Amino acid sequence: MTPILHDTAPDFDQPIAVLKHCHDRIRKQLATLDKLLAHLPEFGADEQARQAAGAVLKYFEKAAHLHHEDEEQDLIPMLRAVAQGEDAATLQALAPVILQDHKDMDAMWQDLHEQLTAIAEGQGAALSASTVQRFSQRYSSHMEREEGTMAPMALRLFGPEQMAQLGKAMQRRRGIGTEANPVPAIGQAVADLRKDYGQASLNETDVMDDPMLQFTQWFEQALKAEVNEPNAMSVATVGPDGRPSSRIVLVKQFDERGFTWYTNYDSRKGQELEGNQHAALLFFWSELERQVRIEGRVERTSSEESDRYFRSRPLKSRLSAIASHQSAPIASRAELEQNYEMVAQQAGDDPARPGNWGGFRLVPERLEFWQGRRSRFHDRIIYERQEDGSWTRLRLQP
């Protein structure tokens, strides 16, 4: 059984916590670089090395620049505007050091960038230990400086208005809209959006005999690569009229029995599954250029399993599950909240699981592992379950 542990990023209404979260992610990338240094002499640019190099490249090419811009264009100017006395003096000494760190780290990154690109493409296995060390040490001391001085100063000096201003600026920089500042109109035609894939490959010899073990390996790699919501999957069901519908749910468990999620049995998906057991799941791990398609039949989990999971949920989520007749229309948000309040007053601290809420498990019959490759020449490996329970494998054209 595979428990899901997923740490979430703070919201932009706490911009200093978001900056600290970025630091934690940088620390993880630096640790990956260290591991890569140890891995390469023994294994060369194997799949693991290629993935690790790809993940580090991706982070420092984009997220790290945004983080530097947050500080240079917003945080430091905003601090300058409010700091007085000793704070102003500290800032005057600190700001040029921070800006110089950014420049020097960018220059060091350029050296690493070339080496990591070659590794990610499987065309080289050289990584300079001294550059990694200098880069890592510089980043570490830089982050300590910021966390020890600049962040506490911002927390002390900024009121709610400045926090909101900083958070909004950081959101805009990442193309995330807010009610007051919607995302500017998309300048580029959607049809022109095009991304070439080339992080990894998938060969018949790379994959495991058991597709659930293969899935577990990919899932662990998705966790390591800090894929956004790696446990989110689309579930497609078919209605009595033969028309499909799909929605995202969170997989809560996967093991040799199949893939389990929890929901309301009276919901649209619940009703459709009642009439037609066949369903399809889809995971898309864009950061790794991977998708996994899974088809099979769906059964309910036992009531003991559903009870166990229900009890493990936070009380408010349990109350929401009781209060919501999922997929049924309701007149207003206010009415929905009234229903919740009523349930909260009556239910006590340990409410029983409602009979119409529980788990579904898809028992897989067919799984496809898809790895994006250059120029749309992707790899697709399919597993199909045979009557005796064994699996056959084949490759499909992209």
Binding site for ligand FMN (CB under 6 A): 229, 232, 245, 247-250, 261-263, 267-269, 326-327
8 A C-beta contact, residue 90 and residue 137: no
Question: 244-250 and 232-238 as β-strands: parallel, antiparallel, unpaired?
Answer: antiparallel
Least gap, CB of 330 to ligand FMN (angstroms):
13
Count CB neighbours of 93 within 10 A. 9
Instruction: Report the candidate in 123, 135, 168 with the shortest Cα–Cα distance to residue 59.
Output: 135
Pick 248 or 330: Cβ nearer ligand FMN: 248
CA–CA distance from 41 to each of 32, 117, 118, 167 (Å)? 15, 17, 15, 43
Pick 217 or 291: Cβ nearer ligand FMN: 291
Residue 166's H or E segment, with its range, is: helix 160-173
Residue 261, both tokens: 């999620």
- Interatomic CA distance for residues 158 and 166, integer angstroms: 10
**Residues in the chain, overall count:** 398
- Catalytic residue numbers read 376
Least gap, CB of 339 to ligand FMN (angstroms):
17
Pick 149 or 276: Cβ nearer ligand FMN: 276
Least gap, CB of 312 to ligand FMN (angstroms):
13
Pick 232 or 347: Cβ nearer ligand FMN: 232
CA–CA distance from 302 to each of 32, 115, 267 (Å)? 41, 52, 18
Pick 67 or 269: Cβ nearer ligand FMN: 269
Least gap, CB of 134 to ligand FMN (angstroms):
40
Least gap, CB of 358 to ligand FMN (angstroms):
11
8 A C-beta contact, residue 21 and residue 66: no
